[in-house]
Amino acid sequence: MKPTKKFGVQIKKIMKISELNKKIKKCDKCGLIETRINALCGEGNLKAKLMLIAQAPGENEDKQGRMFIGPSGKVLDKLLENAQINRKEIYMTNLVKCTLPKNRKPKQDEIEICCKYLEQEIALINPGFLVPLGFYVTKYIFEKYSFPQFSRKEFHEITGKLVLNDNRKVFPLTHPAALLYNDSFKDIVKKNYKKLKILSFTCKWYNCCPLKWFYEKGKLDRKWIELYCQGDWESCVRFQMEERYEYHPDNMLPDGTIDEKMRI
Ligand code: SF4
Ligand code: SF4
């Protein structure tokens, strides 16, 4: 039987990722080679909609050469379980592929050299959503895709909020390891991770929603579809009103404002 085109594309992707992973495993491009045991490759579903990007491997990950197997991995598993997400559904990788001595923050030159691998992973997997975990990874992703910059203090304000730029959807989250040191914000972190499930599906009302019609007729900017209908539909005001059986006009946007230009 002749392989289908889709199957051929998938095989090519597997081959390219495996070539990339071989390069990562042998990499000696920065000083972190001195202190690492294993350079960690990404793991998971090559067709994933969600790509979780952590900062760098921890001690256990470095020893065993696997993603998220130490204490922060246990926290991640609980957060994913609570969100009803299986590790097999997602792709996980690191910004810096080798462990950082004493868990220090990554240096700018280490990020600049190592991020080339992440860029290739993003291009190959092409996930619907990039999910940077923690401040440094989010800062890198925001810079790369020209999102507004933010300070350390402002980081918690952008976690759990979907943003879109350059056709890239980014959903920053708190790194699970943060809960090992301070679990006072556990509830908000759990709530934000639960959104990963929301992002995995298109809104159930999409096929009969007037906004789909407006979009297909060129009367609605694609950003509304990306950010809400095929993104965080739970935050859509129309969706919330629909669920409460409340009247809402056809020209109401997902943020609740009325667009007078939209007329059927
Ligand atoms: S951190 Fe990245 S660039 Fe540095 S040695 Fe490891 S894989 Fe290579
Ligand atoms: S506009 Fe809102 S209710 Fe309509 S499909 Fe999009 S998310 Fe769902």
Name the residue type at position 166.
Answer: D
Q: How far apart are CA 264 and CA 16, in angstroms?
A: 47
Of 154, 184, 199, the residue that ends a domain is 199
Task: Tell whether ligand 2 has an atom less than 6 A from the beta carbon of residue 147.
Answer: no
Nearest CA-CA partner of 98 in 139, 10, 39:
39
Question: Residue 223: which domain range?
Answer: 202-264
Residues listed for the chain: 264
Say if residue 193 is in the same domain as residue 208: no
Q: Are residues 158 and 224 in the same domain?
A: no
- Nearest residue by C-alpha to atom 1 in ligand 1: 98
Averaged pLDDT for residues 240-260: 95
Instruction: Give DSSP secondary structure letters for the chain.
Output: -PPPHHHHHHHHHHHHHHHHHHHHHH--SSGGGGT-S-PPPPEE-TT-SEEEEESS--HHHHHHT-SS-SHHHHHHHHHHHHTT--GGGSEEEESSSSPPGGGPPPPHHHHHHHHHHHHHHHHHH--SEEEEBSHHHHHHHHHHTTPPP--TTTHHHHTT--EEETTEEE--B--TTHHHH--TTHHHHHHHHHHHHHHTS--TTGGG-HHHHHHHTT-S-HHHIIIIITT-GGG-HHHHHHHTT----TTB-TTS-B-TT---
Q: Are 36 and 97 in the same domain?
A: yes
Instruction: Check pLDDT > 80 for residue 263.
Output: no
Q: Are residues 176 and 213 in the same domain?
A: no
Does residue 83 sit in the same domain as residue 95?
yes
Q: At which of 147, 176, 199 does a domain end?
A: 199
Nearest ligand 2 atom to alpha carbon 236:
2
Q: Ligand 2 atom 5: the closest Cα is on which residue?
A: 206
- Does residue 238 line the site of ligand 2, with CB under 6 A? yes
CATH number, domain at 24?
A: 3.40.470.10
Confidence category of residue 264, pLDDT binned at 50, 70, 90? low
Check residue 205 and give its pLDDT: 97
Instruction: Please indicate, yes or no, whether residues 19 and 35 belong to a single structural domain of this protein.
Output: yes
Say whether both 142 and 28 belong to one domain: yes
Same domain, yes or no: 73 and 180: yes
Taking only the tens place, the pLDDT of each residue in 170-221 is: 999 999 999 998 888 899 999 999 999 999 999 999 999 999 999 999 999 9
For the segment 222-241, the average pLDDT, to the nearest whole number, is: 97
Residues 22, 72 within the same domain: yes
Q: Do 206 and 89 belong together in one domain?
A: no
Atom of ligand 1 nearest to the CA of 27: 8
Examine the domain organization and report whether 260 and 222 are in the same domain: yes
Q: What is the pLDDT of residue 1?
A: 62
Tell me the average pLDDT across 97-123.
95
Does 118 share its domain with 171? yes
- Total domains in the chain come to 2
